[in-house]
Structure 1
Amino acid sequence: MTHPAQLKAEADALIARGKALIAADLPQATDLLNQAVKLYWAAGDYYSAAAQTGNYGWALRRMGRPDLARPYLARAAEIFADLGLADFAERHRAAAEDIAADLTPEFLASLPPAVRQAIEQGDGAALQFAINGLPPAEQQQVIDRLAAIGLISIAESEEDASHAVQQFEPLLQAIAAVARGDESERADVERALDDLERKGWRIRKAVRQIWQGERRRQRLTYGLDEVDTAIVNRILDLLA
């Protein structure tokens, strides 16, 4: 049986090839994505299956093909929901349902006034200032919509890691409490970790090492993907 790490490496390589081909050979890029997703599933890496499916949808939207993007965004939303990542699921679901794919008058009219004015004036600095001034929930929605039409770009992997850390913050606080000697919630935390492991997350081993006293980041995060690494680093930050 092929080791999960090898399957994931093969899937990552297929994704990289697909990204290079998406503009020139869309059918081939789509085939590579489908192959990669099957490998992620076989490796038990359900998060990557969802993330890469969603990333493909975002890429298609930025290419001006919302008709092709919607099924991928919707599927990513379903997988994220199954993983318990409600914020991720909602972002992708909203994108799948958003029919605005370019800067039509209707699309502009739907934006906050300061954002709309900055876009109409072609003022990038003013646009950033306007986005920064929005409430967090509305800010994320506007960023997603503008990124979908290619007006702005976002660092998807960093953003995903940040969202995961935020969503799991209560659990991470409980993990840190156990590491400090508070055993009152340990049983619940153990069950949550087992459930996450079944869903494709890979933090259980690192958490148990932390509980045993390990604090070396490089050792604890070795072999983890970017999102799992961010989660483990957050636990260590709580214990610093």
Structure 2
Amino acid sequence: MTLTDYCELKQKIVIGVGESDKHGQLVSMLKNLFKDEINSPRRFEQIKTIGQLIEILEIRDIVSEDNVTILKHIAERLTNREQLLDRIKHYETTHIPKTNLSYYAQPSIPEPVSNETSFLSTNPLPTTMSARKKERIYARITEGIGINWKDLARNLGIRECRIDELNIEYPTAISKATKVLEEYETTRADPQRWFLVLCTALEKSRRRDLSRMIREIETMNL
């Protein structure tokens, strides 16, 4: 199976939900069902269609061509679901994950020494960065980190007692994450490595989506 087959599955899910007589109720129910996975009140409110929901779940690495479990959960809630569920089952039994394809196609490539080494070899660290770009990066993190702010703080080297204090002092995840980044930059960040450390901390916090987003921002001409 190919990525085209995966896109076709998504399209059929979108069409199936769109054709439902209770489209609005169905989208609302699915949003609430995957609220923890969306993990952002702002993004949650912005979702108006099933296509937007799937897109957010893809950004979170919860839905992908290698993992269509949530597509199956959505299909199970449709009235005419039998044929679609059969297609998903066929996809799951015939699809070859990209990791397996990479293994057979490149058996001689050694494992990277570390995530940091791999990232550094292909992404030179920014020695200087405009204030506007850094502001955009920090805004993206604080708006999207949600309940993972504590994991980010730990992975940036902030002590547990300080994390407990921030949890009490600041009312929202955004304000807590803002303070975490402020303290990281002013007390712990190495000017030559701060961006790499931040990307790595996000990935260790299970937020590869945010790491990927801020890397994209870093390449922008801002």
TM-score range normalised by the length of the shorter chain: under 0.3
In the superposition, the TM-score normalised over structure 1's length comes to 0.25
Q: Which has the higher contact order (CA 8 A, sep 6+)?
A: 2
